[in-house]
Amino acid sequence: MRSPKGAKTGMITSAIEKTHGSFHIADIQRECPGVSMDMIRQVLKTMKASGQIECLVRGQHAQWQKTNKGIR
């Protein structure tokens, strides 16, 4: 059985909403089993472009943080 369209994006967004302070991609992977790293990166990129999150540290151990603009 397939997930409804947008279900994985919703899981990722929900996991980010629950974070306090900064977070890593690995934190989101733990909260969203079955979601690929590429999907997580795609959602992070979209959210960054809309100003909802920002990247604090780039690279292998990248850190992300929600912005004041928040998540809708």
Domain count for the chain, please give it: 1
Query: Considering the domain boundaries, does residue 16 fall inside one?
Result: no
At residue 72, does pLDDT exceed 80? no
pLDDT tens digits, 9-43: 999 999 999 999 999 999 999 999 999 999 999 99
At 69, which CATH number?
1.10.10.10
In a domain, 2, yes or no: no
Q: Are 25 and 16 in contact (CB under 8 A)?
A: no
Identify the band that residue 68 occupies on the pLDDT scale cut at 50, 70 and 90: confident
Domain of 49, in residue numbers: 22-72
What type of residue sits at position 24? H
Is residue 60, in this structure, part of any structural domain at all? yes
Q: Which residue has the higher pLDDT, 26 or 60?
A: 26
In a domain, 6, yes or no: no
